[in-house]
A and B are shown apart, each in its own frame.
Chain A
């Protein structure tokens, strides 16, 4: 009897905790989402009246479109460059006898845990010297420091699921080593590439520190534009921008994790 009572309490306690944990993550997002449908010109929660006013002013503003375009370009370039570097790195680690490849892998992983602000300061010096400060290529290089390790991790997991005998079989049938990689290995990594692409793209798309430090006067990405807009005032348009971003990011992230699980 006593046990039944205890298990009743523990079951309910668990349920309450789960609800609280989910709320902790989701309530801020929900609040922003609700606020984005306010028809007022000041930010407040809960909104007094509802409408699409924030969305229409977001879509009609040229600055936001420009920032969105910059973010898309930087994100896509970061994803492509990261994936290309990562596949070469992963093949070097897993399929060649180049021992230094593992050192490079370790160095790449260290780059993820290094404090972003510190890396940004260091990069500032380097990019200024080579004249890439405040340029899209400069920001792409910075984002690749974060993007390459992510792609390396994803592709390495993907490659570990592909038996090497497939390449040996292709080679015994007449393929060169590179042909075996192209026809078999890289083809089988397609879903891993998709996942790596989406993850690095999102990472770049969401990144504000490098964009603020290294973007200079001209490279204005969406996260940076959001920061700037709340620094100089509280334009409620950003609730709409934030909501659009969150929905798009969420869709991509779910798509990415589905791909990683191999469709």
Chain B
């Protein structure tokens, strides 16, 4: 009897603690949303603060749309993310195949170079990459935004790990039948590592989607702004009106929130694999 009431107590304590955590993690989002929905007539600095808008309105969203090409920001973000993720999956899984399953000269060297390239912070690279991109005419182009994300050493390691977990016999049967390596890679191996591809896709998507420093450097034409650049721009344009800044920020969160809702399980799997299995 005593035990049961104790466990109910623990349960309540757990929910109370969770409520506090959620207040910290979700609270700021709710406050942002509340601000975005408040009408021009409502004081957003009211004391005490009002969470539920007196007259909720989408006015702020329309005003942001009128003065900022937010759908163009969204379109650019989608194009850059889709291209980057596709290239990264393709190049990483191509390179990972021989590293996982073939022995060849220079393998150790390539491996060592790959490992060391993972240790170099982009902040060191960005000046030469900027100079290079300017030289190649990549300033203010989608390609300029995409290429630095087109292949990651992490992606190669991740896919190598996935290929190594496939039993050798599966591939050897195909080799005996005289199937070429590229066909084995595409028709035999890739279908078997689909979950890993999905996880890598989701993770690189988030990285590219949120990227700010590189676009900030290489893009100065608003017509090519991605969402982070666009939100930053509208924040400085509307710095005096937090309703509009909030509406712009909410707008930029919606797509990634939808993406997250549908791919949630890969996030969890990815974080676990990335950390625990490499």
Report whether chain A binds chain B.
no
What residues make up the interface of A, taking CB atoms closer than 8 Å to B?
none
